[in-house]
Each structure stands twice: as C-alpha cells, then as structure tokens.
Structure 1
C-alpha cells in the first residue's frame, strides 16, 4: 500500500528515505513525463520508418478511441469505489485485492503515458501534411487518442491514491 506516515510498514514522508518493507512509493510525475516524451520519439520514429520504406503509416481507429475511453471509465469507477471504501468509510479490504488495485493503477499510469506519447508522436508526424483531409483526420484521431490516454493516466493515478492507507485520527505523534 501507499502511505503517508512513518509507522513501521508504511512509506516515509521524506522522499529521500527509502520505503519501508511492505510499502510502495507514489508514482513519480517526472517519470510519467519522461515516458510520454519517449513515447513521442517512438511515435515519430515509427511513422518515419514506415513512410521511408514506402509504406503507409498506421491510423487510429474509432474502435481504439472507444476501447481507451472504456478503460478510462473503468479505472475512474474503480478509483471512486476504492476511495469510498478505504478513505471515506474506512473499510478494510483484503490485502491481495488492495495490491491488485494498486498495481493496476500504477500499470495504467505507465502504459497510458507511453501510449499518450506515441499517439502525440503520430499526430506531430501528420501535421506537416495538414492541408488535405486525410492527414487532418489522422491528426485529429491521434490527438483524441492522446487525450484519452492522458485520462487513463489520470484514472490510474487516482486509483493508486485511493489505495493509500488512511492516517489514523486517534493516534497522536
């Protein structure tokens, strides 16, 4: 679980201190940005490599957008439900379930950041030929996919945050 206090088995507040056993650090926003930048480079490289070989670069379909939006909606629902159970009602959940939800949140944030970058790279690659309708449609679809991927990142981070062990208000420091 992710935690904010320094009790045994919980993550420390000081970012320089290593996490204690049984705890996980929150996902680094800088790392997510770096992954997205890497994704942009990958997206641009894929388009250039395919087009230099005489091929036609891939396009983003409506089905892709719908699938990413559905994933984002599921993650937002899981984050809300988990937050209600752990943070609001202070219910205990099985540790295996909490770890599973935490890992789903972290993985979604990382994969969403990479895909957002790749889709942004696709959009940037098609910008040079924006004059005709085909590339304009490609830019719009790739940009929409990038935005929806950012929603997946956001939902994953919210799910991760919902898995934090709440501070005990009865304890005194």
Structure 2
C-alpha cells in the first residue's frame, strides 16, 4: 500500500514514510524509461533495415488490446478509489498489494512501450510522404498515445491504493 506521505525530501520537517509503505512511482523515472524505449525503438528499426529486413508494423489488434488494457486499468482505478478513498472500506491486503503492483507494473511497461512506439514512429517520419511509412507513423503514434493512457491509468490505480489519512489521528 502506498502511504499518504509526500516522500522524503519533499517538505522539511515531514516524517519519513511508515514502515511497510511503498513510495509513489517517480514521474522522472517513467520519462527516463520512455526515452530509453524510444532509443530501443529507433535502434531496432535501423538494425532490421540495415540487415536487409523490413521493420515490423504496429497492427490494429495491438491498438485494440492496449486500449482495452487502458480501459480495464481505469475501471480498476475508479473502483479501488471508490472503495478505499470514498467509502473507506477495508480490502484484503493481498488484493491491495496485487492492485498496487498492477498499477506500478502497468506504468512501467506503458512508459517503455510509449517510447518504443514513439521510436518506431520517428524512424519512419522522414518518409511520411508515401503511404506505407505514413500508415506506420500513424499506427505507431496511436499506439504511443494509447500507451500513455496505460501509464496514466496505472498511476491512478497506484494512487487509489493509498491508505487515506485518518482525520481523527492528525493533531
């Protein structure tokens, strides 16, 4: 479970996170992962094409699958937020840990795929005037945008798993 505290170094005089708590995912780490993914995507296309092969395209089924994953994650985040934050229900610890890890993993994988798809799109950008590369840029760009939605939904699910601060306990 993610603690409600802002984390170390954010405000002086704040107490450190409680034992057993998990820090929120760093936005800068996600950006770094996306940049790494873009480098991987660009390098992969260049390596395949320099070897005489044809770089793979992003299929429409991939777009549908990513969009479905994003929708499921948004629904899980909304449901978890309603249960924990609004109605203040207790959920099983194993379920809470599962949802937290699902949110974190989705954010990391979504950030990596955002970069890879963006790298794919950038690698075909110079030849966008012909229909083949234009379709590759469009589908890879859409996949990158949908991957950003997966990252966003994962972060919302992670945030929904925070234990709310008890107003009666704060001085």
TM-score (norm 1): 0.93
Which residue among 92, 97, 103 is the counterpart of 2:90? 92
Distance (Å, rounded) in 1 between the aligned partners of 2:2 and 2:19: 11
Determine the structure 1 residue equivalent to 2:115. 117
Distance (Å, rounded) in 2 between the aligned partners of 1:40 and 1:18: 35
CA-CA distance at 1:13 after TM superposition: 4.1
Contact 2:85–2:164 (CA under 8 A) maintained in structure 1? yes
Which residue among 129, 132, 148 is the counterpart of 1:131? 129
Distance (Å, rounded) in 2 between the aligned partners of 1:100 and 1:28: 19
RMSD of equivalent CA atoms: 1.3
SS in 1 for 2:42: helix
Determine the structure 2 residue equivalent to 1:3. 3
CA spacing shift, 1:18–1:59, aligned 2, 3 Å: farther
Which residue among 3, 8, 33 is the counterpart of 1:14? 8
Structure 1 spans left out of the alignment, 5+ residues = 6-11
Structure 2 spans left out of the alignment, 5+ residues = none
TM-score (norm 2): 0.94
Distance (Å, rounded) in 2 between the aligned partners of 1:161 and 1:84: 12
CA-CA distance at 1:4 after TM superposition: 1.8
Number of residue pairs the alignment of both structures matches: 167
Which residue among 8, 27, 30 is the counterpart of 2:28? 30
Distance (Å, rounded) in 2 between the aligned partners of 1:163 and 1:15: 22
CA-CA distance at 1:21 after TM superposition: 2.5
Structure 1 runs (4+) greater than 2 angstroms displaced:
12-21
Contact 2:70–2:149 (CA under 8 A) maintained in structure 1? yes
CA-CA distance at 1:98 after TM superposition: 0.2
SS in 1 for 2:124: helix
CA-CA distance at 1:14 after TM superposition: 2.9
